[in-house]
Amino acid sequence: MIMKPREESLELKIMRSLLIRMGLPGPDELYYLNLKQGFEGESEFDDRIVPLLDGRLVINDLLLEHHNTLFQIDSLMISTKSIYLFEVKNYCGDFYVDGERWYSIAGNEIKNPLLQVQRNESLLRRLLQDLGCNIPVEAYLIFVNPEFHLYQAPLNQNIIFPTQLNRFLENTKKKTSRLQGNHKKIAEQLLSLHLTETPNFRLPDYRYEQLKKGIYCPSCFGFYQQNTRLYFFCAKCGEKEDYETAVLRSVQEFKLLFPDDKITTNQIHEWCKITKEKKSTRKILYKNYKQVGHGKSSYYVK
């Protein structure tokens, strides 16, 4: 059973929107691509562990704090006898290890993911002890990309490589798991401690005037050029999207980028760059949001 499904982070959503609407300089675009690649790898791992869900609880993207120290867990799985901590990496290419240092094949040093796993395992174990939970923790570093290879990999470490993942999951599935009330209780306790706001977003500076206006296709990210009374059509990939759905998606994007700005008919009509009359925009907002005030000073809230 999935107690907390995985969602794209706010940082990833904002960075993608900025890339589409104004472009990003090289380092920021690379940072976005790393965020995107990481999320795709974690999502792939989610698909792979579906056969394990029966008799187990899964919590994704947990941001926790223990004694003023933040730590994030990609996937946590609670079973009868163990709590599994999974750190998922979607690295692509060749890497090698020299002592405790990890490098790309080009010789560029990267963060040692094993140290990250060990740190998170230690913090999680101490947090569970504070909660009165004595279920053992098993921490694993999971590599999901079949194009990844690590030379001089350390032995006797809980590292699961792409070629080992099926076997690891099959062996885990064979371990009988029958959850009791205390297992769900600890899951609920951890969920209650989850921090919803991730600090220290790494975002480039941007202003409303810099951003391209319009509604972009959710499939190929090209901007819609054609629409009817009921649908938008993407000339680039052929995507067809309901008119109201597309507008509401853009309203959510606007609020994500400018959380302190008010949602007004004029603002959203300009943001979406809709060719229809403003009354169509007003109708959609009135139907899906709560109107505050009247006349030119009115705005909408959820």
The pLDDT of residue 294: 86
pLDDT band at 279; cut points 50, 70, 90: confident
Tell me whether residue 275 is exposed, middle or buried, using C-beta atoms within 10 angstroms of its C-beta: 0 to 12, 13 to 18, 19 or more: exposed
pLDDT band at 198; cut points 50, 70, 90: low
Q: To the nearest whole number, what is the mean pLDDT of the chain?
A: 93
Cβ 140 vs Cβ 87: under 8 Å: yes
pLDDT band at 277; cut points 50, 70, 90: confident
The pLDDT of residue 263: 96
Crossing angle of helices 243-257 and 278-288, in 10° steps, is 80
Domains of the chain: 2-193 (3.40.1350.10), 213-301 (no CATH)
Q: How would you classify the pairing of strands 2-4 and 83-89?
A: unpaired
The pLDDT of residue 58: 97
Query: How far is 292 from 275, CA to CA, in rounded Å?
Result: 25
The pLDDT of residue 89: 98
Share of the chain above pLDDT 90, in %: 85
Asked if pLDDT for residue 142 goes beyond 90, the answer is yes
The pLDDT of residue 275: 66
pLDDT band at 199; cut points 50, 70, 90: low
pTM: 0.90
More confident residue, 196 or 27: 27
The sheet that has 57-66: what strands, in order across it? 2-4, 57-66, 69-78, 83-89, 137-143, 159-160
Share of the chain above pLDDT 70, in %: 98
Query: How far is 291 from 300, CA to CA, in rounded Å?
Result: 5
